[in-house]
Chains A and B, each alone.
Chain A
Amino acid sequence: MTQSVVIQVGQCGNQIGCCFWDLALREHAAVNKKGIYDEAISSFFRNVDTRVVGDGGSISKGKICSLKARAVLIDMEEGVVNEILQGPLREVFDSKQLITDISGSGNNWAVGHKVFGSLYQEQILEKLRKAAEQCDCLQCFFIIHSMGGGTGSGLGTFLLKMLEDEFPEVYRFVTSVCPSGEDDVITSPYNTILAVKELNEHADCVLPIDNQSLFDIISKIDIMVNSGKLGKTVKPRSLVTSSARALKKHQKPFDAMNNIVANLLLNLTSSARFEGSLNMDLNEISMNLVPFPQLHYLVSSLTPLYTLADVNIPPRRLDQMFTDAFSKDHQLIQADPKHNLYLACALMVRGNVQVSDLRRNIERLKPSLQFVSWNQEGWKTSLCSVPPVGHSHSLLALANNTCVKPTFMELRERFMRLYKKKAHLHHYLQVEGMEENCFTEAVSSLSALIQEYNQLDVTKGMPVQDLPRLSIAM
């Protein structure tokens, strides 16, 4: 069994990260009744004997003493991290896992990337090496950040190159929160495009997330919860948005949204952590969903969003779960995969679902989806026996689909509108190491990516032709 290390960068990254650790603890507590430190828990947590002074002896077996998250928390302001350290999760983090500053990046990618990057490079490297040493077999880094600001965007992507150089064998999965059209940070298009270039070049896999989509999901749940008929019968802990805090109604404004992302990460890793009849490890995600190295942006959708508690209401048919996964309501970014081209698709199922359920639904949904000619049966599936807390089953769909192209094109649009006027450019150019060609290179990188998707889109709708095979002389 392997381990993963979570690197949460910036305000958004740390807030999501916090929700993730909360949910991860909850999930393992529900599964691990005997309190024995096992391989599943060790994927994200160390077991530490806190009576031992100093580095805190790591214990690899036996009863759980004190669980410490395999995490590195980075922020150039202290507010968020301090809050985490004073909150209910304070025992889960080691003060040695943190890197903070006080001045913040001022929503400036250049400050995050160039200034703080060089300032904290050694420290970050040291913390990462430590975290890696504490792993028996480190398989993956999960980086959580937002793209619109300065720290998460700039410093978060600075990390990627470092990770690639220092730990070339370890996967880099990035969860990136993208700014929406009405972002209140004016320079977010600059920050985002500069970040995307780094993601293009140094990430193995990117899961883009859109605040708008998260918000829509919450609205949908609110309607369900508050509507007369089904209202009070929704199991509170089953909400994809819920956390321990939510139950006490102290939920902070972004908590609900962040919990959705946290659930995404839990479901993504469930088949690697828990047993099932068809396992899927993290290295299989990359292998199956990334046909060409540059095209590594995956659209995710989660179902169900909640579970009904009232047993008198018949459980939603299993098949409904599969249908929902392909509905835009359940996606975590604004995109339209059904009207675009699938390069590959993964269905990661948890709970009491069997292979025949999978097959039946794939057959049923296939006709309405368009797959690229060389991957007509491009499905990767996994069955994990352990469902998420509060559910009997769940489904995470990951799609590599050309529908991300419009999102990239829009980003480029917004960028060009600012750049043409050289608006706010001086804030960036005055940072040492930043020049105009950083911007032009970033746009080129994005344009090249868009072009790749274009070339695939051109093949959409064309009849699939079998290519001539090798002929053998008998």
Chain B
Amino acid sequence: MSIVTVQLGQCGNQVGFEVFDALYSDSYCSQGLCSKKENEAYQASCKERFFSEEENGVLVARSVLVDMEPKVINQTLSKAAQSGRWKYGQHACFCQKQGSGNNWAYGYSCHGPKHEESIMNLIRKEVEKCDSLHGFSIIMSMAGGTGSGLGAFITQNLQDQYPNALKMNQVIWPYGTGEVIVQNYNSILTLSHLYRCSDALLVHENDAIHKICAKMMNIRQISFNNINQVLAHQLGSMFQPTYSAEDSFHYRRNPLGGFRDPALYTTWLKPADAFSMWKTQRAFNKYEKSATLVSNSQFLVKPLDTIVGKAWNMFASKAYVYQYTKFGIEEEDFLDSFSLLEQVIASYCNL
């Protein structure tokens, strides 16, 4: 079962590279702390999921790279090629000359329709290389113009063209205090659109990862490289296959183990169903023991609420709105987005 990754914009491409690198490093590292047979099964499974193989045995990431300007893609491609361990497909990228200018409307309404065919074709080619497609991992930031706007557009297209495939969006949540001034607008537009067409939104907050780098890893001068690598590590540990030694296609569900406290779960979901744990003997990234927690909880209500609040305040003054209406996103579209997100917040609060 393969996963095709679509990496969009500067953030998406920078993170995407780190993810594949982390997956590769983990798969091919020698300290699996398990049997050789187990290790081989693990490797094979990871390979099938994330990489295809060229005739000469070189691993090619199952990924489509999209950006509206060339600098980052060029860098990403050469970084991968230089590593000598894996690379991106030669024709797996789509690039233009002029970026989206941090404008969601430009990414969604201009770049989207204009380049829809080319981009979907690239994705199709990648899908055809898979024996069986499990789904898509779309890596994008919310704050800018390409990842956010074009990312939302592409996800919608994937919904239409591949309704049976899982669509999981890796959404990078910007720092609370400015990377981009219009990041709150871009964020609410992205989230409201993704809500309607994505199966799962996995949120990665720059602020949270920054704290990890500062407090837990004690890095003094934190760069985006550091941030992206931590993110990739988290994603990698979630993505890597979990198997039982007996049957390599069996996801082991272990009813035993912690997190049984009913208070943590909503009333309409029995603890047994709400909590799924997948185990594997094989160590991730040389750790003797590691655990990855993916949760759907009220944890995100506060950040979401904050972003909606800031965007609303700005919208009330109409600041920057002309930049969006210029490209076809009207005030009504903003209001639709606000309503949808308020509903989401209310639903989570009512749990």
Chain A residues within CB distance 8 Å of chain B: 1-2, 39, 136-137, 139, 275, 277-279, 281, 283-284, 286-289, 291-293, 343-344, 354-357, 359, 362-363, 366, 373-381, 383, 466-467, 469-472, 474
Contact = CB atoms under 8 A, between A and B. Distances in A.
Interface string B223-243: 111010000000000000000
Contacts of A344: 181
Contacts, number: 140
A374 B102 contact: no
Contact of B97 (A1, A284, A373, A472): A1
A467 B313 contact: yes
6 contacts: A279-B69, A279-B72, A377-B178, A380-B178, A381-B179, A467-B312
Given A355-B222, A356-B210, A359-B210, A375 B98 contact: no
A469 B309 contact: yes
B319 A374 contact: yes
Range of interface residues on B (Cβ < 8 Å) = 35 or more
B224 A470 contact: no
B180 interface: yes
B313 A373 contact: yes
Contacts of B164: none
Contacts of A343: 319
Given A279-B71, A354-B224, A359-B175, A472 B181 contact: no
B102 A287 contact: yes
Contact of A2 (B97, B178, B214, B338): B97
A379 B178 contact: yes
Contacts of A359: 175, 177, 210
Closest 9 CB pairs of A and B: A379-B178, A283-B101, A356-B222, A291-B319, A137-B97, A354-B223, A277-B224, A374-B317, A288-B181
A383 B102 CA distance: 15
Contact of B177 (A284, A289, A362): A362
A202 to B, nearest CB: 16
Contacts of B69: 1-2, 279, 281
Contacts of B312: 467, 469-470
Given A287-B103, A355-B224, A466-B313, A472 B342 contact: yes
A287 B101 contact: yes
B223 A293 contact: no
Nearest to B221: A354
Contacts of A137: 97-98
Nearest to B10: A279
Contact of A362 (B71, B178, B214, B318): B178
A288 B100 CA distance: 12
Interface in B52-91: 69-72, 75
B214 A356 contact: yes
A259 B69 CA distance: 30
Nearest to A343: B319
Contacts of A287: 101-103, 145, 182, 320, 323
A217 to B, nearest CB: 28
Given A355-B227, A472-B343, A472-B346, A380 B99 contact: no
A281 B323 CA distance: 16
Contacts of A373: 313, 317
Contacts of B303: none
A467 B178 CA distance: 21
B103 to A, nearest CB: 5
B350 interface: yes
A173 B102 CA distance: 18
B193 to A, nearest CB: 18
Nearest to A469: B312
B172 interface: no
B327 to A, nearest CB: 11
A458 to B, nearest CB: 13
B220 to A, nearest CB: 8
Contact of A283 (B99, B308, B322): B99
B222 A466 contact: no
Interface string B178-215: 11111000000000000000000000000000100110
B314 interface: yes
A366 B102 CA distance: 23
A467 B316 contact: yes
Contact of A288 (B175, B182, B219): B182
B163 interface: no
A466 B305 CA distance: 12
A226 B179 CA distance: 40
A469 to B, nearest CB: 6
Q: In this complex, which of B181, B214, B310, B312 has the most chain A Cβ atoms within 10 angstroms of its Cβ?
A: B181
Contact of A284 (B102, B210, B322): B102
B5 interface: no
A354 B222 contact: yes
A78 B224 CA distance: 51
Given A283-B98, A288-B102, A359-B177, A375 B224 contact: no
B211 to A, nearest CB: 11
B296 to A, nearest CB: 20
Interface in B139-190: 145, 175-182
B56 to A, nearest CB: 28
B137 interface: no
